[in-house]
Amino acid sequence: MSLKVPKSNNIQLFKDGYKQLQGIEDAVLRNIQAVSELSDLVRTSFGPNGRNKLIINHLGRLFVTSDAATIIREVEVIHPAAKLLVMASQAQEAEMGDATNMVIILAGELLKKAENLLIMGLHPSEIIKGYELASVRALSELEKLSTFSLPSPLTESTLASALKPAIASKQYGFEDTLSALVAEAALAVMPANPKNFNVDNVRVVKIMGGSLAGSKVVQGMVFGREPEGMIKKATKAKVAVFTSALDVAQSETKGTVLIKNADEMLNFTRGEEKHLEKIFKEIADSGVQVIIAGSSVGELALHYLNRFNIAVLKVLSKFELRRVCRVVNATPLARMGAPTPEEAGYIDIFETIEIGGDRVTVLRQLSEDDAGFDPHSPGARSRTATIVLRGATSNHLDDLERAVDDGVNVIKSLMKDARLVPGAGASELELAKRVEIYGSSLKGLAQHAVKRYATALEVIPRTLAENALGGAESNEVLSRLWAKHEEDGGEAWGVDVEAETDGTLQSTAYKIYDSLGAKTWAIRLATEAAVSVLSVDSIIMSKPAGGPKIPQQAGNWDEDD
């Protein structure tokens, strides 16, 4: 007879306030439910006909956008499993700058399909194994789908056509104008080796008023303000960058001065003026004609700067100041005084121009091989290009800026890998077909997961069709697409969001291409995120630090008074 050891029920493993959720029901299925909610949130914003979300963040700032990266960043997700998806989409944003929505939608769909398998009794490890096999297969098949590459001598038209699908998914209807602007700006700063293309060299300045048609590319760096002094223009000038205030030094403590007669009154500030004049004379003698100030500029300082014919521009953003330093090749100085030859920068053109009634300052640095060029000639290329966007509202301008940002990032990824795959959901549907065939050839339980992976890939064309045409018609479009993909050479058939004929189109005929690099990363990251969520079997949460939350006094923003 075996001895029965009495079990103790009061074993306390964690501190008070810890929460522990275990098992398929409590941990895995609840995680999948949270992730599904997140993917459904951004799913309606996918593609050219994606709906906008109106978001008010914790600071009360308003966002109206369909850009998944912005939505995810501004919505504070606290669920740990959903955070894994957010991290995957942020990795996609950092790596490629595009297809962030695809990562979340695909990962969410993979987990929804896994949920059915888990309820049927499959073990998570079998599903993970199947998903990993399917992912490897999908990525190898994706390489074979690439039938077109960006032509070698880059021209504005070829670059613009490659950008159009990415920009159309954010700003449908404006893609022609925006892609032309981005292509022009990118080619203006394209280095001799395109692989060294730096996205930071294409800047955006938003000027309220007018319409998008009034937007243009300006060679050089543009600041939406005029210089502080009377000097508005300089060419081939030495530049000094100061992070400290250009003003009389203030004492830390208050002092009382007793003035006995009129002479003392007149001479009271003479010493300060002499000191300041000496400093600015030294700066002028060192050959500096332009000063970029990162802080305030005093009235007395401005008087001497005007006297010595030195232009001064205030740049209050430290990030912009850093970029200016890179463009003019100067060292930012934390003290007032003449810069040494190593610390001083150089600018070819410093001028003030008018854009739509607003006076802006342009800093233009010509590239090394254009030293002998006339700066205003069409051949002169700048190290920095700025797209000046015009629009009626600040929200619309912000959204245009996000579309431009996506376009510039697509160029960066195309410079690394120029291969393109058919767009409009054609590649995903073809991959779904090929992974399905691969799954049928496998043995064991993993084949179920591989087949579910194939049906999950179908979510991209399905979502495009749903957002453009509505639920009932999207099923018909999808069945037509399947029929066309079953035929020989049908891998380029995708969703026609304008539904001019039957809701399908040959993406290659319409030049709808997606970057192979962005697609590869999206599939890889979505699979990794889904596998990470599936491999969790227990959630352990500690008690949040800090005291009880103080209830806010103000009512809800939507409440009637």
Burial 229-264 (b: 16+ CB within 10 A, else e): bebeebeebbbbbbebbbbeeeeeeeeeeeeeeeee
pLDDT by residue for the chain (561 residues), tens only, comes to 556 666 555 566 666 666 666 666 667 788 888 888 888 888 888 877 778 888 888 888 888 888 788 888 888 888 888 888 888 888 888 887 777 888 888 888 888 888 888 888 788 888 888 888 888 888 888 888 777 777 777 777 888 888 887 888 777 878 788 888 888 888 877 777 777 777 777 888 888 877 788 788 877 788 877 778 787 778 888 888 888 777 766 666 677 777 777 776 666 667 777 777 788 788 888 888 888 887 777 777 788 788 888 888 888 888 888 888 877 888 888 877 777 888 888 888 888 887 777 788 888 776 554 444 444 433 344 577 888 888 888 888 888 888 888 888 888 888 887 788 887 778 888 888 888 888 888 787 878 888 888 888 888 888 888 877 766 677 777 788 878 777 766 777 777 777 666 666 766 667 777 888 888 888 888 888 888 888 877 767 677 776 666 655 555 555 554
**Domains of the chain, earliest start first:** 18-147+422-542 (1.10.560.10), 220-381 (3.50.7.10)
From the list 404, 378, 410, the residue with the least C-alpha distance to 212 is 404
How far apart (Å, rounded) are the C-alpha atoms in residues 528 and 522? Answer: 10
Contacts of 162 (CB under 8 A, 6+ apart): 150, 410, 414, 420, 513, 515
Close Cβ partners of 458 (under 8 Å, ≥ 6 residues apart): 428, 429, 432, 478
Angstrom distance (rounded) from CA 516 to CA 522: 10
Q: What is the pLDDT of residue 381?
A: 47
The neighbour count for residue 327, using CB atoms within 10 Å, is 21
pLDDT score at 546: 66
- The CA angle 402-34-15, to the nearest 5 degrees, is 115
Place of tokens 């591989």: 450
Alpha-carbon dihedral of residues 427, 428, 431, 433, nearest 10 degrees? -110
> What pLDDT was estimated at residue 145?
79
Q: Which pairing describes strands 202-208 and 385-391: parallel, antiparallel, or unpaired?
A: parallel
pLDDT at site 373: 43
**Is 381:367 a contact under the CB 8 Å cutoff?**
yes
pLDDT at 419: 82
**C-alpha–C-alpha distance, residues 399 and 404, integer Å:** 9
Token readout for 167 is 């920009």
CA distance 426 to 433: 11
Q: Tell me the residue length of the chain.
A: 561
Alpha carbons within 13 angstroms on the beta-carbon side of residue 158 total: 12
The pLDDT of residue 370 is: 47
Confidence at residue 548, expressed as pLDDT on a 0 to 100 scale: 65
The closest alpha carbon to 351, from 233, 235, 239, belongs to 233
Neighbouring C-alpha atoms within 13 Å toward the C-beta of 16: 0
Report the predicted TM-score, pTM, of the whole model to 2 decimal places: 0.78
Kind and range of the H or E element at 513? Answer: strand 513-515
